[in-house]
Structure 1
Amino acid sequence: MKILETERLILRRQTVEDAAFMLELWNDPSWIQNISDFGVRTVEEARNRIASGAIEQYAKWGYGFYLTELKDGGIPIGICGFAKRDFLEDPDVGFAFLPRYWGKGYAYEAASAVMEYGKSVLGFTRIAAFTSEENEASGKLLEKLGLQFEQLIPYPGGDERVRLYSVSV
């Protein structure tokens, strides 16, 4: 189900048919370094993770992380969207793209559209985001999107701290 369209991208809901792509994304070294190692190693595990993750989020919250693909050819390049996490008061925007698509403006294009969608369609009045302390590139993109660094906060379940950003929309 298509959610958004930009000049170069289509953002749509993930389906279990996206398992091979999501398996590649989740096991990319940049994902593991900057987000987490989900321990998903097979297409079947990826299908299950999509069903219990993105698809469940769409049903529960009406939003989630959308598969982002190139309009030209329908090639999946990453994900972008919102999560509702127990440890944050506001929904948080997030994005992740395969490294071969970095530096082309896709993350900014997708995240800008998602932010506007959050405000105009979902009715958000405030949007949060967080990054690992080391992830400077994502922090710069969040600031370009209008979010401002607030503080370092503990990430639940571990010793790691993350950089919290937010913006009123």
Structure 2
Amino acid sequence: MFIETNRLIIRDLIEQDAEALLEIKYDKQVMKYHPAFFGENATIDFIKVVIAFFQSIKERGVIYDEKYPERGCLSAVCLKDSGVVIGVITFNQHTHVNEWHVGWYFLSRYTGQGYASEAGAAASDYFLEAISLDYISADVRDDNPASFRTAQKSGFKLIEKRIGFDYDNPDCNVEDVGSCSYYFQKLNKNKTRA
């Protein structure tokens, strides 16, 4: 994958991205909202294995491994002018509901500048077309207003506030927690609807 926007390049992972991915994994915002990203105690060696896995998928000429669609695709988001990796875009199938999902994780020092919504819009459009999806979804924790705005600016529409069991956020699966996420969808503008 190679997507170019006004300020960003979204591309396949390379081995040299390992340090940046480790920094993203342990960024304070990523740890707050998605501590399970790359697992609880990810190491540089584990991240290199993850990169090798995604490279092997790309070498086969596919976007994701059809045998494991829940693993999806992980792409680096880089500043166009310097090539510095500032975040990642995730794309995977939530097999429990048979929906494709996009997500974004960025280093704190690059948030609040519109990079996530620029990347989210471009990547979701790419996946909608590349896989010919009717729609793509995004889930945002209800205590993450920045990601809520990113979803909206990326062209997603709020569908509902989710209450109850959350497959991706086990912290919500206890009594008396209440609503834990907002569910968004972005429609493929090029698909005909009945």
TM over 0.5: yes
Report the Cα distance in structure 2 between the residues aligned to 1:39 and 1:19, rounded to whole angstroms. 17
Equivalent of residue 156 in structure 1, options 153, 160, 167 = 167
Are the aligned partners of 2:9 and 2:80 in contact in 1 as well (CA < 8 Å)? yes
Report the Cα distance in structure 1 between the residues aligned to 2:171 and 2:45, rounded to whole angstroms. 31
Secondary structure at 1:39 match in 2: coil
In structure 2, relative to structure 1, the CA distance for the partners of 1:150 and 1:12 (3 Å cut) is same
Report the Cα distance in structure 2 between the residues aligned to 1:30 and 1:119, rounded to whole angstroms. 27
Report the Cα distance in structure 2 between the residues aligned to 1:26 and 1:55, rounded to whole angstroms. 22
Secondary structure at 1:91 match in 2: strand
Are the aligned partners of 1:15 and 1:55 in contact in 2 as well (CA < 8 Å)? no
Report the Cα distance in structure 1 between the residues aligned to 2:106 and 2:8, rounded to whole angstroms. 13
Report the Cα distance in structure 2 between the residues aligned to 1:31 and 1:66, rounded to whole angstroms. 16
In the alignment, does 2:173 pair up with 1:130?
no
Aligned identity (percent) is: 26
Query: Aligned AA for 1:103?
Result: G
Q: TM-score, normalised by structure 1?
A: 0.85
Structure that is richer in helix per residue: 1
Cα displacement (A) at 1:90? 1.8
Count how many residue pairs are aligned between Structure 1 and Structure 2.
168
Name the Cα RMSD after superposition: 2.5
Are the aligned partners of 1:9 and 1:110 in contact in 2 as well (CA < 8 Å)? yes
Are the aligned partners of 1:10 and 1:70 in contact in 2 as well (CA < 8 Å)? yes
Match of 1:47 in 2: 48
Give ranges in structure 2 of 5+ residues lacking alignment. 173-179, 189-194
**The structure with more radius of gyration:** 2
